[in-house]
Amino acid sequence: MTSPGFQYPIFGPEIQCPHCRQTIPALTLTDTYLCQRHGAFESNPKTGELIHLQSGRHWRLWKDEWYRQHTHPDGIRFEIHEALDRLYTQGYRATRVIIAQRYQELISTYLERSTPWRGQNDAQNLASTVFRWSLVPILKKNPAGT
């Protein structure tokens, strides 16, 4: 007799869809989860990733949240903006942003050709711009009306 735990993919009988956060079921005896809105996601037991079959996007679970694994700077920028919007609607603002070490090479090209922050001219420290992207986020509650 097979253990019930072996009938489901590595993340268990159900997960939250990385896109819409709705609870979605696993298909028994497969490595697949099926969201009615977003389609099939396949879990990879070797890498611990979840792969959206239609788009090929890869996701990893960390602290009960799905995080997309990026291959292009625009994806990272989009995710940062999405997270900042979410914080803002909760009454917070991020004073700093952290970029994972594995993405620093990917995003460094973007930072080198983007315009410097706060009116700095090109002669001023590009390193300070890169440094701002690699700091730990510190959250502050926005006072009412600001």
Q: Which long-range contacts (CB under 8 A, 24 or more apart) does 101-106 make?
A: 103/70, 103/76, 104/130, 104/134, 106/70, 106/71, 106/72, 106/73, 106/76
Q: Do 130 and 96 form a contact (C-beta atoms < 8 A)?
A: no
pLDDT score recorded for residue 97: 80
What's the pTM?
0.60
**Helical H segments across 67-122, by residue range:** 73-89, 101-113
- Sketch the domain layout of the chain as residue ranges: 4-69, 73-141
pLDDT in tens, the chain (146 residues): 455 556 899 999 999 999 999 999 999 899 999 999 999 999 999 999 999 999 999 999 988 889 888 888 888 888 888 888 988 999 988 888 888 888 888 888 776 665 555 454 443 433 333 333 333 344 455 555 44
pLDDT score recorded for residue 134: 36
